[in-house]
Amino acid sequence: MADYDSDSSEGEFEETNVLLGYASKEADDEDIISRLGGRPDWLDPEKPPSAALARCKVCSDMMVQLLQLNGELPEKFPGHERRLHVFGCRRSNCRRRDGTVRVLRGVRVFKQEAPNPAKEEKKEQPKAEEAKPVALGDALFGASSFGRGGSANPFGGGGGTGSANPFAKPSEPEEKEEEKPKPQEVSTAGLTKSFAETLALNVPPAQPPPPPEPWPTEDKMPKPYPTLFLADADYETLDPKPTNVPANARVEAADAEEPSAIDREAFESSMDAAFQKFADRLAQNPEQVIRYEYAGTPLLYSKTDAIGKKLASGRGIPGCANCGGRRTFEVQLTPQAIVELEGDDMSLDGMEWGTIIVGVCERDCRPRDTELGQAGYLEEWAGVQWEELAKE
Ligand SMILES: [Zn+2]
Ligand SMILES: [Zn+2]
C-alpha cells in the first residue's frame, strides 16, 4: 500500500494503490463486464454454476447479484479468465445474518503455468516501488481481453500442461474425510508427500462441490437490482490534510444494544477510531462504490465486530477450500454501492452493511473437476461488516 499516512508531501494529493470504481447508468461500451446489480453474466453462458451456490444460507432462497467484476489480471494470472460475482439475499428477515452474502469466482484457465513459489516470493518484495499494472483499470473496467465471443481460445489447446501441475491433482478419495489427520501425521506425511499435498492437509477439508442445480427461470427469481456499469475507475487520491468532512456513510438512529458497562468506553473509542478512518477515507472520494487492490489491505468499517477482529488481528481470511492455498483481499464494496443499487427504492427496507470484503484464492485455482479451457466456479470468502447502529 502507498504510504498515504506520511506527511512528506504536505499539500499534495497523494495517490494510493487502491483503484476506485464508480457506477454509471450508461456505458459507452456495452461490453463492460464490471457492474453493480443486474443479472449475472457468466464466463460461459452455457455453463452457469450450480444455482445452489447463489442460494441464501439462511432462507435458501435465490439471492440477487450485487457486484460483477471482471477480475482478469493478465500479468499475475496469464491465461486465466476470471470474474467475481457477489450475491446478497433480499429478504429483510435475513439481514445481518451470516451466509446472506456470498461470492463466487468464475475462472477459466486456458494454459496453466507451472507454479514457481520462489519467483512469487521475489515478486512480493519490492512492492512499494512496484509499478502499477498499467492495464489493470482497463482489464477491470473495460471489456474482456479474451474477445467478445468468449469461446475463442487465444492460448491454443494447451492440453498436456495441466498434468504437470501439482496443484491441479484430483481430489483425495473419500477416506480423507473420515480420518482427520492429526498434526503428528501431517509432519510424517510431509516427508513423502509433495509440498502442495502437505499444505493441503493443513487446511479445512475440501468443500464438496455443490449439487448441480439448474437456475430457476426468471419469473421464479427475486427481482434483480438495476444494472449500473462500473465504467470509470481511478486510483485513489487523498488529501494529506483532510478537513473534517462529515461522514457520508450511513449511520441511522436505531435502538442499539448497549455494550456491557465495563468495556463500553474502550469499545466506543476503538469503534469510533476505525469507523472515523473509514468514513474519512470514503468522504474524500464519496462516489466510490468499490475499492480494488489485489493483495492489498481492506479498509475496515470496524475493528471490533467479528470480521474486524479477525482481520485486524492478522489471523486473516480463511484459506481456499479447493486448493489449500491462502486467500488474499481483492475488492470491497462501499455503502455508496447501496445508494446506487437501491436508488429510488429507498423507501423499502434496505441493505444494512457498512462494507463487504471479498477474499479470493491467491493462486486463482480452478475447481478440481474443471478441465483446462472450461469455465468453473468456486465460492470465495465474503466478510460482511454490518452497519453500526447509532447509539441514542
Ligand atoms: Zn435469505
Ligand atoms: Zn485455491
The alpha carbon of 350 is separated from its chain's Cα centroid by a whole number of angstroms, namely 22
Which ligand is closest in space to the CA of residue 55?
1
Ligand approaching nearest to the C-alpha of 318: 2
Give the three-state DSSP class for 228. Answer: strand
- CA atoms of 15 and 7, how far apart (whole Å): 13
Residues 6+ apart with CB under 8 A from 199: 324, 325
Specify the pLDDT at position 315.
76
Q: Which pLDDT does position 38 carry in this prediction?
A: 95
Write the CA distances from 149 to 28, 41, 43, 44, 153, integer angstroms.
19, 13, 10, 10, 10
CA 351 to ligand 1 center in whole angstroms: 12
Distances in Å between the Cα of 142 and the Cα atoms of 6, 41, 295, 364 are 33, 15, 21, 20
pLDDT tier, 184 (very low <50, low <70, confident <90, very high otherwise): very low
Give the number of the ligand closest to the Cα of residue 89.
Answer: 1
Pairing of strands 228-238, 101-109: unpaired
Protein residues with C-beta less than 5 angstroms from the ion ligand 1? 56, 58-59, 89, 91, 94
Question: Quick one: pLDDT at residue 98?
Answer: 95
Backbone angles phi, psi at 30, to 5 degrees: -65, -15
- pLDDT at residue 129, rounded to an integer: 44
Could you give the percent of the chain with pLDDT greater than 90?
52
Q: Considering only CA atoms, which of 113, 128, 2, 105 is closest in space to residue 53?
A: 105
Statement: residue 275 has pLDDT above 70: yes
pLDDT band of 126, cuts 50, 70, 90: very low
φ, ψ (nearest 5 deg) of residue 53: -75, -15
Say which range, 46-50, 67-71, 234-238, 243-247, has the weakest mean pLDDT.
Answer: 243-247
Going by pLDDT thresholds of 50, 70 and 90, the confidence category of residue 58 is: very high
- Ligand 1 mean position, distance from CA 303 (Å): 26
Instruction: Map residue 107 onto helix, strand or coil.
Output: strand
Q: How far is CA 41 from CA 48, 65, 254, 279, in A?
A: 9, 10, 37, 32
pLDDT of residue 29: 77
Please give the pLDDT value at position 384.
97
Mean pLDDT over all residues of the chain? 76
353 CA to centre of ligand 1 in angstroms: 15
pLDDT at 221: 94
pLDDT for residue 164: 35
pLDDT at 251: 44
Residue for cell digits 508427500? 193
**Rounded distance between C-alpha atoms, residue 251 and residue 244, angstroms:** 17
How many whole angstroms from 327 Cα to the centroid of ligand 2? 7
Residue 147 pLDDT exceeds 80 = no
Q: Is residue 140 classed as helix, strand or coil in its secondary structure?
A: helix
Which ligand number lies closest to the CA of residue 102? 1
The Å distance, Cα 70 to ligand 1 centre, comes to: 26
What is the mean predicted confidence (pLDDT) over 134-161? 47
Is residue 62 pLDDT above 60, yes or no? yes
Hey, where are the domains in the chain?
14-171+206-386
**Which DSSP letter does residue 55 get?**
B
Q: Determine contact, residues 379/103, Cβ cutoff 8 Å.
A: yes
Q: CB-side exposure of 292: number of CA atoms within 13 Å? A: 27
DSSP string, 308-363: HHHHHTT--SPPPTTT---EEEEEEE-HHHHHHHHGGGGGS----EEEEEEEEETT
What's the confidence (pLDDT) of residue 241? 67
Q: How far is the CA of 88 from the centre of ligand 1 (A)?
A: 8
Residue 388: which of 96, 94, 31, 6 has the closest Cα?
A: 96
The whole-number pLDDT of residue 12 equals 76
Ligand 1 centroid to Cα of residue 90, in Å, is 7
pLDDT at 163 over 60: no
Q: What is the mean pLDDT of residues 332-339?
A: 96
Give pLDDT, residue 210: 75
Tens digit of each residue's pLDDT (9 = 90 or more) over 370-379: 999 999 999 9
**Kind of pairing between the strands at 14-24 and 228-238:** antiparallel
Q: Are 360 and 378 in contact (CB under 8 A)?
A: no
What percent of the chain clears pLDDT 70, i.e. is strictly above it? 63
Q: Residue 365: nearest ligand to its CA?
A: 2
How many angstroms does the Cα of residue 82 sit away from the middle of ligand 2? Answer: 13
Check residue 311 and give its pLDDT. Answer: 92
| Ligand 2 centroid from CA 285, angstroms | 33
pLDDT of 122 strictly over 80: no
- At residue 113, the pLDDT reads 63
